Amino acid sequence: MTKEELATMLGTTRQNLSKWEKERPDLVRLINQGLALDESIEETRRHLERLEQIKNDASNGKFKLK
């Protein structure tokens, strides 16, 4: 994600984001950690959906061994 995209997502400008990086590094760190956590949650959700599909396929006799 670019700084411009991040700024837009946060409802601010790229210039403000750069200012925060200098003046409020903890704030920027927390924002980045939150984004990383959100990405991890989304990845976990996709894995869960895949596992549920495998379970359903196995229950219905559709499980394919490679």
Residues 10-62: pLDDT tens digits?
999 999 999 999 999 999 999 999 999 999 999 999 999 999 998 888 888 87
Q: How many residues does the chain have?
A: 66
> d(Cα 12, Cα 6) in Å, to the nearest integer?
9
To the question of pTM greater than 0.85 for the whole model, the response is no
> d(Cα 18, Cα 14) in Å, to the nearest integer?
6
